[in-house]
Amino acid sequence: MSSSRNLIIAVVGVSILATLVSAFYFFYKKDGPGVAASSTASSTPVVVASAPETAVAREVPEGFREYRNTTYHFSLLYPEVLKVDEQQEGKNAITVTFQNTERGEGFQIFIVAHNEPQVSEARFKQDIPSGVRTDLANVTIDGATGAAFYSKDAALGDTREVWFVLNGYLYEVTTLKQLDTWLGSIMQTWQFT
C-alpha cells in the first residue's frame, strides 16, 4: 500500500471519528438513500472525464450528488455534504475519497488494474498488511461479484471493506466499521456504465 494511500486513510479516519451521531441520524431518517422515487430534486453529477454524449443522467434525490467516473466506468450517489477528492496513485491506479470532517462521515475507493477474475491471497496481503479479514461475505455490486469483510488498519482501527473485480480493475471500498450500514446504502447506488 502506498504511503499516500496510508495518509489518505489516516486523514479520512480522523475525520470520520469526529462524530458518528450525525451519520446515524442521516442514514436512518425517513428520506435517506434508496428513496429516489419520492424525491424530485436533482443535483449536478461530478464527472471525472468527459462523459459520452449518450450518457443518460439518473435522477438524483435531494441531498445527494452523483459521482461519475468515465475512466473506470462507474457512478454512484453520495450525500452532498461529502467532499470528493481524487489522488492519482500511478500505475493506472486512483484513490477517490468522499468525506465530511464536521459530520464524521467518509469512505474511500481505491481502484487499480487487476487482470485476474478474483482477488488472490497475495493481493489481499499486499493491500491489507494486517492480514485481518473477518465475517467474509459474498456481495454483488451491479453485477460484479465480490466480497465484504471487516479488517483492521494501523491508522483507522476497525474497517469495513468491500472489494470486487470487473473489466480488468479491482475496486476496494473502505470505511470505518461503525459506518458499515451507511456505506451499504451508498453501495446500493453503484452502477457500472
Mean pLDDT over the full length of the chain? 76
Classify residue 63 by burial, with Cβ atoms within 10 Å: 0-12, 13-18, 19+.
middle
CA-derived radius of gyration, the chain: 16
pLDDT per residue as tens digits for the range 68-110: 999 999 999 999 999 999 999 988 899 999 999 898 899 999 9
pLDDT per residue as tens digits for the range 152-181: 988 889 999 999 999 999 999 999 999 999
Q: 104: which residues sit within 8 A by CB, 6+ positions away?
A: 15, 16, 17, 18, 19, 20, 22, 23
pTM summary value = 0.71
Domains of the chain, earliest start first = 3-192 (3.40.1000.10)
For 78, other C-beta atoms within 10 Å of its C-beta total 20
Strands 46-47 and 64-69: parallel
